[in-house]
Structure 1
Amino acid sequence: MTDTLPDRLSLNPRSPFHDAALLERGVGIVFNGQERTNVEEYCISEGWIRCAVGKALDRHGNPMTMKVNGKVEPYFLDTKAGDN
């Protein structure tokens, strides 16, 4: 497995951007200099993340999300722990 993350990744298994192997390894997101833990999907090239908004669900049972623009920096959780 490579140490490069894709440009776009989603937690939703029905999304074409979902990659279960990468998600099992653990992916963290730094957004505009702050650690974010509620990210449902991200895109590095377009500079946005989708975050869960409260506990509200849509009609399909998925969390309601909000798209936020800014600088996205994904990383593997296992490599960040080894850097410190």
Structure 2
Amino acid sequence: MTDSNTSQRPDLPDHLSIDPRSPHHVAAVFEHDVGILFNGKERFDVTEYCISEGWIKVPVGKKQDRKGNPLTIKLKGEVAAFYK
């Protein structure tokens, strides 16, 4: 049963963002649960990642920029994406 479910999932891109305005947003991927491993630990607050360049972006508390978007910082390390 799980084999047919996994065959319908799109491949995870190298660079993915949760922001629908981003050119790196792929809506079909978000129809499934996606997990991110950063330096061997699962992170639940990732807003954007790039596997080949080895970084993730995470929000900085509740701070927002002048347009109301959360402020993010880029963390560098080993990144892996997977379907849950």
State the TM-score, normalized to the length of structure 1.
0.85
2:49 is aligned with 1:48:
no
2:74 is aligned with 1:67:
yes
Aligned length: 77
State the TM-score, normalized to the length of structure 2.
0.85
Contact 2:10–2:29 (CA<8 Å) still a contact in 1?
A: no
SS, match of residue 28 in structure 2:
helix
Match of 1:81 in 2: none
Structure 2 distance, partners of 1:43, 1:65, is: 15
Match of 1:36 in 2: 43
**Stretches of structure 2 lacking an aligned partner (at least 5 in a row):** 1-7
Q: What is the CA-CA distance between 1:4 and the residue it aligns to?
A: 2.4
C-alpha root-mean-square deviation of aligned residues, in Å? 1.1
- Relative to its length, the structure with more helix (as a share) is 1
**Stretches of structure 1 lacking an aligned partner (at least 5 in a row):** 78-84
- Runs of 4 or more off by more than 2 Å in structure 1? 1-4
Q: What is the CA-CA distance between 1:21 and the residue it aligns to?
A: 1.4
Q: Deviations over 1:29-49 (max 9, x none)?
A: 010011100000000000000
